[in-house]
């Protein structure tokens, strides 16, 4: 027993010495000589995993279980350099995910809650590949902020990432973009679909959580992408669209929608196909496509250009009817951020017309009756049952 105590005491002393050595080397490598070492040590409080968890990392090969909710902080807002990896990320959470992969053992289970950009933003392909290269089995759940955030009082779209090495093959699974109010029963009702990296779109992981959605997405993919072929540098035919905001609709306009200018509106000019483009981009077909490939917050030129559709092969007679319905079903209200009165559009009142557009698109893509029904009724209880202001 005395021998054991002596050995343990000696190990602890060596780890303290190792920690001090690592602190001084970190200080010498990152701080100038005009800074006091003790003051730097007190303010930065460096943490060395090997020294603090020597038995786990060196003896056990890493942690058996890792559960975490890392900081969602833009790297531009921190005043220190991250040097443990050659990867470059814009948010701290991605570095934490990579760090987890380094500290797991070969049988480890890991569950981390992170922003949904982990699946949906092209610039985060590096961390997605890192996770795939270090795990055999990954599950991604994707959670909206409407009608309710996953965490009460926190307006953040998040993904929960579950990772382990229980499978011999590399398996990747994901859910749809989940809208729910039933948080206590959430994990009992989750449905996953086997997923793949979308190599044509920055290796994002499309949020497709069931087989019928997967079939629809594949049929959409069969068409060429030619919307932006009809874009013009100058034209009086303009498409107006909000480039950010969480809604139950994607609703660009082929008329000026503003009473008071709203900064979130962008415009693109198109040729004489603009009315068909306007109709197609208001469809539920485009809505579910955008839900699958985007972060469900931004709508940009890239998202429009990525929608596969042969515009010249689609004739949508409902465009004038839809535009008139939008105008008929808008109200005027004061908006503090705009500093004046704005139009608020009740898009759900135009849903029957949007359904007509989706029926035309069903023929274009070759959707089955079941697939068309899935599209028309996607998120229907929230899109129709819960009115949401167009301006968040």
What tokens does 9 get?
Answer: 């005491």
Q: Would residue 116 count as lying in a domain?
A: yes
The one-digit pLDDT tens for each residue of the chain (392 residues) are 778 788 878 888 888 898 899 999 888 887 877 889 999 899 888 888 888 898 899 889 999 999 999 999 999 998 877 878 889 999 999 999 999 999 999 899 999 999 999 999 999 999 999 999 999 999 999 999 988 888 888 889 999 999 998 777 789 999 999 998 766 778 888 999 999 899 999 999 999 999 999 999 999 999 999 999 999 988 889 999 999 887 899 999 999 999 888 777 899 999 999 999 999 999 999 999 999 999 999 999 999 999 999 998 998 888 999 999 999 999 999 988 888 999 999 999 999 999 999 999 999 999 999 999 999 999 999 998 754 443 43
Tell me the sheet residues that pair with 112.
Answer: 68, 161
Cis peptide before 147 (omega within 30 of 0): yes
Asked if 275 and 238 touch (Cβ cutoff 8 Å), the reply is no
Dist CA 348 CA 248 (whole Å): 9
Q: Would residue 392 count as lying in a domain?
A: no
Q: Would residue 72 count as lying in a domain?
A: yes
| 19 and 94 together in one domain | no
| 256 and 288 together in one domain | yes
| 344 and 225 together in one domain | yes
Q: Would residue 163 count as lying in a domain?
A: yes
| 204 and 338 together in one domain | no
Residue 220's contacts (CB-CB under 8 Å, 6 or more residues apart) are: 285, 289, 307, 308, 309, 365
Q: Would residue 390 count as lying in a domain?
A: no
In this structure, which long-range contacts are made by residues 75-82, counting pairs with CB atoms below 8 Å and at least 24 apart in sequence? 80/44, 81/30
| 223 and 368 together in one domain | yes
Tell me the sheet residues that pair with 137.
Answer: 164, 171
| 184 and 298 together in one domain | no
| 101 and 1 together in one domain | no
Domains held by the chain: number: 3
| 74 and 193 together in one domain | yes
Asked if 267 and 274 touch (Cβ cutoff 8 Å), the reply is no
Q: Would residue 94 count as lying in a domain?
A: yes
Q: Would residue 388 count as lying in a domain?
A: no
Residue ranges making up the domain that contains 4: 1-49
pTM equals 0.88
| 333 and 223 together in one domain | yes
Domain ends where: 158, 182, 209? 209
| Element housing 333 (H / E) | strand 330-335
| 31 and 142 together in one domain | no
CATH of the domain at 96: 3.40.50.150
């Amino acid at each position: 027993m005395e021998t054991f105590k002596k050995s343990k005491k000696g190990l602890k002393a060596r780890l303290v010495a190792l920690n001090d050595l690592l602190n001084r080397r970190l200080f010498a490598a990152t701080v100038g000589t005009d800074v006091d070492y003790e003051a730097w040590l007190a303010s930065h409080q460096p943490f060395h995993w090997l020294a603090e968890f020597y038995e786990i990392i060196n003896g056990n090969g890493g942690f058996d279980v890792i559960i975490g909710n890392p900081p969602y902080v833009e790297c531009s807002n921190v005043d220190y350099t991250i040097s443990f990896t050659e990867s470059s990320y814009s948010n701290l959470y991605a570095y934490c995910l990579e760090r987890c992969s380094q500290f797991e053992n070969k049988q480890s289970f890991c569950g981390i809650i992170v922003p949904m950009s982990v699946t949906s933003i092209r610039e985060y392909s590096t961390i997605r590949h890192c996770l795939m290269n270090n795990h055999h089995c990954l599950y991604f759940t994707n959670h909206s902020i409407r009608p309710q955030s996953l965490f009460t009082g926190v307006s953040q779209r998040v993904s929960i990432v579950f990772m382990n090495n229980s499978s011999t093959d590399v398996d990747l699974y994901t859910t749809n973009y989940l809208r729910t109010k039933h948080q206590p029963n959430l994990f009992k009702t989750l449905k996953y679909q086997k997923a793949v990296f979308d190599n044509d779109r920055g290796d994002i992981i499309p949020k497709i959580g069931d087989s019928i959605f997967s079939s629809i997405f594949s049929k959409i993919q069969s068409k060429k992408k030619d919307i932006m072929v009809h874009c013009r540098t100058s034209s009086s035919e303009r498409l107006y669209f909000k480039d950010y905001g969480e809604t139950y609709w994607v609703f660009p306009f082929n008329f000026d929608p503003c009473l008071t200018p709203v900064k979130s509106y962008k415009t693109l000019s198109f040729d004489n196909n603009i009315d068909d483009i306007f109709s197609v981009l208001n469809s539920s077909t485009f809505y579910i496509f955008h839900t699958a490939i985007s972060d469900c917050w931004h709508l940009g030129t890239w998202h429009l250009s990525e929608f596969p559709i042969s515009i010249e092969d689609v004739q949508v007679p409902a465009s004038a009817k839809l535009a008139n319905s939008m105008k008929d079903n808008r109200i005027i209200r004061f908006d503090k951020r705009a500093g004046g009165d704005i139009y608020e559009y009740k898009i759900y009142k135009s849903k029957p017309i949007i359904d007509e557009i989706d029926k035309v698109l069903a023929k274009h893509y070759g959707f089955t009756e079941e697939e068309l029904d899935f599209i028309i009724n996607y998120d229907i209880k929230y899109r129709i049952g819960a009115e949401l202001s167009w301006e968040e």
